[in-house]
Amino acid sequence: MAKLIGVVLMLFSLVAAIPWAQSSEEESWATSHEFQKKETVITNLNFYFHDIVGGKNPTAVRVAQAANTNKSPTFFGVVMMADDPLTKTPDPNSKLVGRAQGLYGSAGQQELALIMALNFGFVDGIYNGSSISLLGKNPASHPVREMAIVGGTGIFRLARGYAIAHTHWFNATSGDAIVRYNVTVVH
């Protein structure tokens, strides 16, 4: 029995010696509060993404590739930097609602699978200045893809959600695409 108590006391003193196990004190540079978000809302966003890779005024440009990228059927290793307009309708001249800025690249050796890391920054109405962050795999040859929304700013602070992408139009010669995005965010 005494032995057991000894072991328990020893374990206790070990735990007590670990600083983060014992104290709820704060540092001057870090304060914590209980978090309870009162007004959680779900917002649905529908817009069209214009990815122009050919011609004189591309919106997405190749910034890097691997030695074998051009021999790969999936362009494995290519990295693109995009600044793609987001519009209200499929017409490129329709109202600009935001821009998708960031990187995407070919991360699939067997199938076309893009890894997308994009900031969708909005410019229209109450959403002007707010953004959401998309991170996920985009098997672009599938008609419908789902990617994660991992965060946001402004109205979309603490956002999480998902984006459903449907190819609306694709030019196989140039690689240009118009993609409809239907994004559901909880924030």
Ligand X SMILES: *[C@@H]1O[C@H](CO)[C@@H](O)[C@H](O)[C@H]1NC(C)=O
Closer Cβ to ligand X, 76 or 87, answer by number: 87
Angle at 29 between CA 26 and CA 32, to 5 degrees: 45
Interaction of residue 73 with ligand X, rule CB under 6 A = no
Closer Cβ to ligand X, 128 or 141, answer by number: 128
Paired sense of beta strands 131-138 and 60-64, if any: unpaired
Binder of ligand X out of 22, 46, 70, 109 (CB under 6 A): 46
Query: What's the first-to-final CA gap in the chain, in angstroms?
Result: 54
What's the Cα-to-Cα distance from 8 to each of 11, 15, 172, rounded to whole Å? 5, 11, 70
Q: Which stretch binds ligand X (CB under 6 A): 1-9, 27-35, 122-130, 139-147?
A: 122-130
Q: Which stretch binds ligand X (CB under 6 A): 10-18, 30-38, 74-82, 171-179?
A: 171-179
Bridge partners, residue 49, by sequence? 86, 179
Binder of ligand X out of 13, 24, 44, 93 (CB under 6 A): 44
Interaction of residue 54 with ligand X, rule CB under 6 A = yes
Q: Which stretch binds ligand X (CB under 6 A): 35-43, 74-82, 138-146, 166-174?
A: 166-174
Paired sense of beta strands 42-51 and 79-87, if any: antiparallel
Binder of ligand X out of 129, 139, 157, 158 (CB under 6 A): 129
Interaction of residue 123 with ligand X, rule CB under 6 A = yes
Interaction of residue 182 with ligand X, rule CB under 6 A = yes
Closer Cβ to ligand X, 19 or 125, answer by number: 125
Rounded CA-CA distance 18/20 in Å is 6
Residues near ligand X (CB under 6 A) are 44, 46, 54, 123-124, 128-129, 164, 171, 173-174, 182, 184
